[in-house]
Amino acid sequence: MRFYHHIPAPPLSEFVGLLWLYEGYHQPHEKERLLPDGSMELVINLNEDLTRFYHPHDTGKFETLRGSVVVGAHSEFFVIDTAEQHSVAGVHFKPGGAFPFLGLPAGELHNALVSLQDLWGGLADQLRERLLEAGTPQARLLVLEQALLAKAAQRLERHPAVAFALREFHGLPHTPTIADVTGQIGLSAKRFIQVFSGEVGLTPKLFCRVRRFQRVLRRIGTGRPVEWAAVAADCGYFDQAHFIHDFHAFSGINPSTYIAHRTEHLNHVPLIE
């Protein structure tokens, strides 16, 4: 497998964490569960022009989309076909970073995958064709970067309240309350939730829960022995039962199962049926 990546220059870097490309990706398992991380993704299948995503609790059921998809901010896992990841390009947006490129509130894509064609029309097909025509991995990443800059035009800015809140929420596990944040930005709680969800795709409370879950994954992904009570306390959970409940809500499995089947990618877990 060959992996290429590129971090764009400002102002795009304020919204995009990584432009990436996999070639020759192969896994011994047929399906993977992808765990939520509070961000959104643009994924383009360069091998064939289709993408399947499976019902998380009944993988005999699936839907098929065109090969270019936008993955909305999730608060639950979803299931993908690993064979479709053989040759794939994509954009990993920072939390709240996808909204300038969508043309609709990010909250409308909560727990959803949609065809890029539904959002960009014919530009989606043009982008995929340009990626296929590009001669090198570096050229493909440049095509992605140029497409994002052209699509966003002059919209590369955040609402100041969202920018402030994301900085504050980065200090997990000691997360400020919505009241703490709204008290410093001059918005009502209702208006703040509306603005935040519109740009990030999750409510502030749900976003903080997902990011706390991600803190757990980083903590237990080191390979060292795990003391679960300490993990729960250090990551800001009330107790171990609260921790296990949230872990299962976001991943569909318990922490021990995750450790038994984890891969080098924290958010990709083989689906054992």
Q: What is the rounded CA–CA span in Å between residue 44 and residue 23?
A: 12
Per the rule left: phi > 0, alpha: psi between -120 and 50, beta: everything else, 253 is beta
Q: Which pLDDT value is given to residue 273?
A: 63
Q: Which pLDDT value is given to residue 170?
A: 81
pLDDT tens digits, 137-171: 999 999 999 999 999 877 889 999 999 999 888 86
Reduced to 3 states, what is the DSSP secondary structure of residue 99?
Answer: helix
Instruction: Say what the pTM is.
Output: 0.93
Which tokens go with 86? 């053989």
Low-confidence ranges of the chain (pLDDT < 70): 171-176, 273
Residues of the chain with CATH 2.60.120: 2-152
**Comparing C-alpha atoms, which of 26, 17, 23 is closest to residue 4?**
23
CA triple 153-159-164, angle to 5 deg:
130
Tell me which architecture the domain covering 2-152 has in CATH: Sandwich (2.60)
Q: Which pLDDT value is given to residue 224?
A: 76
Residues of the chain with CATH 1.10.10.60: 160-270
Q: Which pLDDT value is given to residue 175?
A: 65
Q: Is residue 43 within 8 Å of 80, Cβ to Cβ?
A: no
Reduced to 3 states, what is the DSSP secondary structure of residue 243?
Answer: helix
Q: What is the rounded CA–CA span in Å between residue 233 and residue 132?
A: 48
Q: For domain 160-270, give the CATH superfamily.
A: Homeodomain-like (1.10.10.60)
**Comparing C-alpha atoms, which of 201, 214, 231, 167 is closest to residue 97?**
201
